[in-house]
Amino acid sequence: MKLNKNVCAALALAVAPLSAAPALAAAPKAADVVKHYAEVGHAKYEDSLTTAKALDAAIDAFLKAPTDETLKAARDAWIKARVPYQQTEVYRFGNPIVDDWEGKVNAWPLDEGLIDYVDASYGTESDENSLYVANVIANKTIKIDGKDVDASKLTPEFLSGTLAEAGGVEANVATGYHAIEFLLWGQDLNGTGPGAGNRPATDYDLKNCTHGNCDRRAEYLKSASTLLVSDLQEMTDNWAPGGAATKHVEENAQAGLTAILTGMGSLSYGELAGERMKLGLLLHDPEEEHDCFSDNTYNSHLNDAIGIAAAYTGEYTRVDGTKMTGPSLHDLVAAKDKKLDTEVEGKLKTTLDAMHAMAKRGETVEKYDQMIGEGNKEGNATVQAAIDGLVDQTKSIQRVIAALDLGKVELEGSDSLDNPNAVFK
Amino acid sequence: MQKGGPDSEMPRTGASNTSRLTIRIAALALLSAAPVALAANFDLPVKRSDLSDADMKRVADVTRPTTDFSKAEPYEAMQAGAATSIDPVTEDSFSHISANIPFEEEQNFKLGNALFKKLWVSAPSSTQASDGLGPLYNARSCMSCHVNDGRGKPPEGGVSTTSMFLRLARTPKTPDEEKAIADAQTVNFPDPVYGHQMQDLAVPGLAAEGRMKISYTEKPVTLAGGEVVSLRLPSYSVTDLAYGPLDPTTTISPRVAPAMIGLGLIEAIPDADILAHADPDDSDGDGISGKAAIVRDHRTGHIALGRFGWKAQNATVRDQSADAFSNDIGISTPDRPDAHGDCTDAETKCRKMPTGVQKRLGNEEAPGPVLDLVTFYSANLAVPARRRASFADTLRGKQLFYQSGCAFCHVPKFVTRRDTTEKAQSFQLIWPYSDFLLHDMGDGLADGQQVGLASGREWRTPPLWGIGLTRTVSGHSFFLHDGRARNLTEAILWHGGEAEKARNAFSSLPKDDREALIRFLESL
């Protein structure tokens, strides 16, 4: 399928009107809930933009004087930039405008070998240890997807147009956060052992260049960073009042609620619990993790979970510390079914606790890639607890969908069937 | 094919057949269309063994084609039984999990979905479980071709050919090769240089094999009442061949990706109930043969009934998936273990490219668990419920569909096996509108490429369920194996050979009736 957004498969366009339920408490209007959701979305993308600009400035400083210190500053800026961005991810599902754009900034896995040198011996039993060199940083003309491509200038336009075939189905994954991450950290050659990628600052030192083509590597990094800023600017504008995403989600309040819940459910179960966590655990692939070069995966997952909870509570703490609150799904559900609201809040908290425990383990004991290693019972269990929380909260999200009458449609044209949903048994 | 008038007896389903079928299958050797003789006598079950006598009777009753078009049949709207999705109609209508799969099993579906949409990257890469693309490939992910789990389309305006590619096969050249096909040891032989299909993409640094070129010639057809429909006759060739010429006997056959819905249910149709419709020698003289595709299960090597693919070359969803991984994406699996995919020995540079195999994770780029999950996902995509099934104009179209003879091959319904491994697929009354047999479809559609027992004129009857949602899900209405038909009317008019009579019946209908028949198809 195209997207992993079918956890709340029942949803999508045709939704029944919210039934006139007896209000237990003063319920907010659905339209106000959706409006606040859009405002928080705008704040989150704006924070992502701000931190991406800070990253861009740190990259400028690093490229001007490539030292261990400036490299570390750039890496720190990248880690900071991930925090608000990951919290926006809950907006991806249910909002087609985000979903269609997302691949440009956060696609995974990355086409490393297309971008820069990679270690051919890595993870294989081959005794060849040469660097594999069919990449655009090393080659001014290169065959990509079987066609000769002029790669003499690594401009943002080249990266987003020629290299990524913007808009095409067969996009090469060569831009976004993970491309920048790869260019700042390099490959993590430590498997399930400790340690992240260890790219030397001299990979960008024009006078004392390691691994060749430092000028082109610098050009690529700067272009990728420039693109990230412009892509985030575009999405921030989309969520401004009157922006395309805001208009789309606010067009129909009930459909807007559906979008919120679709985002929560899809990110919880299919995307995060399934694709990003369970799959890596199942395959024991140390780098089947989202932020593999930087070893920042536990934070990425944690911030995804924080975003999911925020979509329900309407609460968001901005990068500058400002707290946002407003009419939320929580208010809406509490007014209709207090018990269900308590259940949802409890489950969101259980997940967050498990995620925090995982993040703490990531800071103090071992990184995420080590946690999912084969035979690491305690690490595996820590990750599994977060997965279990996500799956469990999905069930409650589905109950919210039912409680708010956002469920399935009647079978069209089944009027002459006595029991249209009956099946042969 | 058992013959039946529109208002009398219709194509038979069920298990009432005799051992005659074994003989019939052996007699395939006599088919003039097949260039090789079939040596072995393949036995397949001719009687269901999964049901009690009482259930056998119930199944026979419920699958008997209707003669009453005044109202919808019971269960008809739920065209995949309890697995049917009743979610709102959207572009995601083919992407839902079968409705009767329990929540707990949904995780495997979601993991399979993740792998289905995963963009594989070239090796070596840090993501050891995600690399190994190609070296030659047509697509980076399953979903690149099966967009929204729907039907592929031919390239338009020179854009990427993804979701359609060229299958390559040369004729057998020795008695041993002929015997291998007759014994169903292989379905055909690859081009010595380009392999089983033309990959138009390659990993960085490697030349892609070549490109498909299509040109169309418009051909007007006049229908009853004077309406003129233009059919576009495609002509295929290859350009930019990077590794020398094709073998002179190599044929090229274009294929679009089929929709992914209901596949596990199709696999769960008993062999006997499909074979009950087979009539390879046309012994009933109705002009319709219906030939079973005899293939081998990839893992067991046992004889099996082919039911997936345009020529029914695979017996199971798993086999179809493993073939697609290998040929389309260049990813090896336990069932198709060559990590270089469709690179032949003649493509020396390709064979020297790094692979994505990590011994630690398994001997293949996509080890067993990955293939299992993708198979589970592919087998359990829900078929959406019918729309407007009970509307008068739909029912009128349904009657015309039967009366025109469409239902002889597009067999309406089956009841799946009781003893399926996946409980959700067990004993469901399903309405795929296919007999899953091979039919000579005439010169117009012939691709000249033999695939196992399927001659260059024969194609498997494709299921029709979900066809009415093509535009909703895939944003286009291109039909047939190469998407040459631009709408359902054109698709029907391309039918020839054994389907010529039905096609002529359609073209002779008054315009209103033709439209009603199309409306019926759109309700599927």
Cβ contacts (< 8 Å) between B114 and chain A: which residues? 4, 270-271, 274-275, 279
Output the CA angle A8-A9-A10, nearest 5 degrees.
90
Cβ contacts (< 8 Å) between B203 and chain A: which residues? 113, 134
B127/A279 touch (CB, cutoff 8 Å), yes or no: no
Of the pLDDT bands very low, low, confident and very high (cuts 50, 70, 90), residue A113 is confident
Cβ-nearest to A1 among B71, B143, B389: B143
Give tens-digit pLDDT for A313-357.
999 999 999 999 999 999 999 999 999 999 999 999 999 999 999
Q: What is the pLDDT of residue B423?
A: 93
Instruction: Tell me how far the alpha carbon of residue A287 is from its chain's centroid.
Output: 16
Please determine, for residue B32, whether its predicted confidence score (pLDDT) is greater than 60: no
Q: What is the pLDDT of residue B1?
A: 43
Indicate whether this model's pTM tops 0.80: yes
Of the pLDDT bands very low, low, confident and very high (cuts 50, 70, 90), residue A281 is confident
Angle between helices A253-265 and A377-403 (to 10 degrees): 160
Alpha-carbon dihedral A318, A320, A321, A326, rounded to 10 degrees: -40
Give tens-digit pLDDT for B361-371.
778 889 899 99
The proportion of chain A whose per-residue pLDDT surpasses 70, expressed as a percent, equals: 83
Give tens-digit pLDDT for A367-378.
998 898 888 999
Cβ of A292 under 8 Å from any chain B Cβ?
A: yes
Taking residues B339-362, what's their average pLDDT?
A: 87
Tell me what the pLDDT averaged over chain B comes to: 89
Q: Which of A2, A368, A411 to mutate to test the interface with B (most CBs of B within 10 A)?
A: A2
Cβ-nearest to A118 among B71, B89, B125: B125
The DSSP letter of residue B424 is G
B129/A285 touch (CB, cutoff 8 Å), yes or no: yes
Taking residues B481-507, what's their average pLDDT?
A: 97
Dihedral sign computed on CA atoms, order A134, A137, A143, A146: positive
B77/A15 touch (CB, cutoff 8 Å), yes or no: no
Please determine, for residue A90, whether its predicted confidence score (pLDDT) is greater than 70: yes
Q: What is the Cα–Cα distance from B204 to A146, expressed in whole angstroms?
A: 7
Higher pLDDT, residue B358 or B40: B358
Q: Which of B68, B125, B163 to mutate to test the interface with A (most CBs of A within 10 A)?
A: B125
For A23, phi and psi rounded to 5 degrees?
A: -75, 130
Of the pLDDT bands very low, low, confident and very high (cuts 50, 70, 90), residue A48 is very high
- Kindly give, in sequence order, each residue whose CB lies less than 8 Å from that of residue A336, ignoring residues fewer than 6 positions away: A21, A23, A24, A27, A403, A404
- Kindly give, in sequence order, each residue whose CB lies less than 8 Å from that of residue B102, ignoring residues fewer than 6 positions away: none
Q: Which of B85, B97, B126 to mutate to test the interface with A (most CBs of A within 10 A)?
A: B126
Cβ contacts (< 8 Å) between B429 and chain A: which residues? 423-424
Higher pLDDT, residue A119 or A169: A119
Residues 75-94 of A with CB under 8 A from B: none
Q: What is the pLDDT of residue A172?
A: 65
A9/B242 touch (CB, cutoff 8 Å), yes or no: no
Please determine, for residue A409, whether its predicted confidence score (pLDDT) is greater than 60: no
A146/B200 touch (CB, cutoff 8 Å), yes or no: yes
Cβ of A149 under 8 Å from any chain B Cβ?
A: no
Q: What is the pLDDT of residue A171?
A: 54
Q: What is the pLDDT of residue B33?
A: 37
Cβ of A320 under 8 Å from any chain B Cβ?
A: no
Cβ contacts (< 8 Å) between B428 and chain A: which residues? 423-424
Q: What is the pLDDT of residue A10?
A: 36
Cβ-nearest to A109 among B94, B127, B202: B127
Give B303→chain A minimum CA distance, Å.
31
Cβ of A131 under 8 Å from any chain B Cβ?
A: no
Of the pLDDT bands very low, low, confident and very high (cuts 50, 70, 90), residue A406 is confident
A4/B117 touch (CB, cutoff 8 Å), yes or no: yes
A118/B124 touch (CB, cutoff 8 Å), yes or no: yes
Cβ contacts (< 8 Å) between B111 and chain A: which residues? 274-275, 278-279, 282
Scan for tokens 């359990």, then name that residue. B380
A285/B209 touch (CB, cutoff 8 Å), yes or no: no
Taking residues A169-184, what's their average pLDDT?
A: 82
Q: What is the Cα–Cα distance from B522 to A323, expressed in whole angstroms?
A: 52
Please determine, for residue A2, whether its predicted confidence score (pLDDT) is greater than 50: no
Of the pLDDT bands very low, low, confident and very high (cuts 50, 70, 90), residue B358 is confident
Higher pLDDT, residue B64 or A168: B64
Contact assessment for residue A137 and residue A148, using Cβ atoms and an 8 Å cutoff: no
Cβ of A127 under 8 Å from any chain B Cβ?
A: no
Q: Is B459 exposed, middle or buried (0-12, 13-18, 19+ CB in 10 A)?
A: buried
Q: What is the pLDDT of residue A286?
A: 63
**SS3 annotation, B144-198:** HHCHHHCCCCCCCCCCCCCCEEEEEEECCCCHHHHHHHHCCCCCCECECCCECEE
Please determine, for residue B30, whether its predicted confidence score (pLDDT) is greater than 60: no
- Asked, as a colleague might, if the bond just before B462 is cis with ω within 30 of 0, I would say no
Please determine, for residue A137, whether its predicted confidence score (pLDDT) is greater than 80: yes
Higher pLDDT, residue B252 or A109: B252
Size of interface A-B (CB pairs under 8 A): 257
The proportion of chain B whose per-residue pLDDT surpasses 70, expressed as a percent, equals: 90
Cβ contacts (< 8 Å) between A123 and chain B: which residues? 124, 128, 358, 360
Give A390→chain B minimum CA distance, Å.
11
Contact assessment for residue B289 and residue B1, using Cβ atoms and an 8 Å cutoff: yes
Please determine, for residue A134, whether its predicted confidence score (pLDDT) is greater than 80: no
A288/B96 touch (CB, cutoff 8 Å), yes or no: no
Q: What is the pLDDT of residue B261?
A: 98
Q: What is the pLDDT of residue A328?
A: 97
* Nearest residue to A95 (alpha-carbon basis) of A276, A247, A316, A277: A247
Cβ contacts (< 8 Å) between B144 and chain A: which residues? 169-170
Dihedral sign computed on CA atoms, order A373, A379, A385, A390: negative
Beta bridge partners of A316: A324
Q: What is the pLDDT of residue A129?
A: 33
Tell me what the pLDDT averaged over chain A comes to: 85
B130/A288 touch (CB, cutoff 8 Å), yes or no: yes
Q: What is the pLDDT of residue B228?
A: 97
Beta bridge partners of A86: none
A170/B122 touch (CB, cutoff 8 Å), yes or no: no
Q: What is the pLDDT of residue B56?
A: 95
Out of A97-101, A145-149, B309-313, the most confident range is B309-313
The proportion of chain A whose per-residue pLDDT surpasses 90, expressed as a percent, equals: 62
Give A74→chain B minimum CA distance, Å.
22
Please determine, for residue A14, whether its predicted confidence score (pLDDT) is greater than 50: no
A110/B127 touch (CB, cutoff 8 Å), yes or no: yes
**SS3 annotation, chain A:** CCCCCCCCCCCCCCCCCCCCCCCCCCCCCHHHHHHHHHHHHHHHHHHHHHHHHHHHHHHHHHHHCCCHHHHHHHHHHHHHHHHHHHHHHHHCCCCHHHHHHHHHHHCCCCCHHHHCCEECCCCCCCCCCCEECCCCCCCCEEEECCEEEECCCCCHHHHHHHHCCCCCCCCCCCCCHHHHHHHHHCCCCCCCCCCCCCCCHHHHCCCCCCCCCHHHHHHHHHHHHHHHHHHHHHHHHHCCCCCHHHHHHHCCHHHHHHHHHHHHHHHHHHHHHHHHHHHHHHHCCCCCCCCCCCCCHHHHHHHHHHHHHHHHHCCEECCCCCEECCCCHHHHHHHHCHHHHHHHHHHHHHHHHHHHHHHHHHHHCCCHHHHCCCCCHHHHHHHHHHHHHHHHHHHHHHHHHHHCCCCCCCCCCCCCCCCCCCCCC
Cβ-nearest to B82 among A187, A391, A423: A423
Contact assessment for residue B426 and residue B270, using Cβ atoms and an 8 Å cutoff: no
Give tens-digit pLDDT for B369-425.
999 999 999 999 999 999 999 899 999 999 999 999 999 999 999 999 999 999 999
Residues 163-182 of A with CB under 8 A from B: 168-171, 173
B125/A284 touch (CB, cutoff 8 Å), yes or no: no
Cβ-nearest to A417 among B111, B125, B390: B390
Q: What is the Cα–Cα distance from A249 to A228, expressed in whole angstroms?
A: 24
Of the pLDDT bands very low, low, confident and very high (cuts 50, 70, 90), residue B46 is confident
Give tens-digit pLDDT for A196-250.
788 999 999 999 999 999 999 999 999 999 999 999 999 999 999 999 999 999 9
Q: What is the pLDDT of residue A121?
A: 52
Please determine, for residue B241, whether its predicted confidence score (pLDDT) is greater than 70: yes
Q: Is B183 exposed, middle or buried (0-12, 13-18, 19+ CB in 10 A)?
A: middle
Of the pLDDT bands very low, low, confident and very high (cuts 50, 70, 90), residue B35 is very low
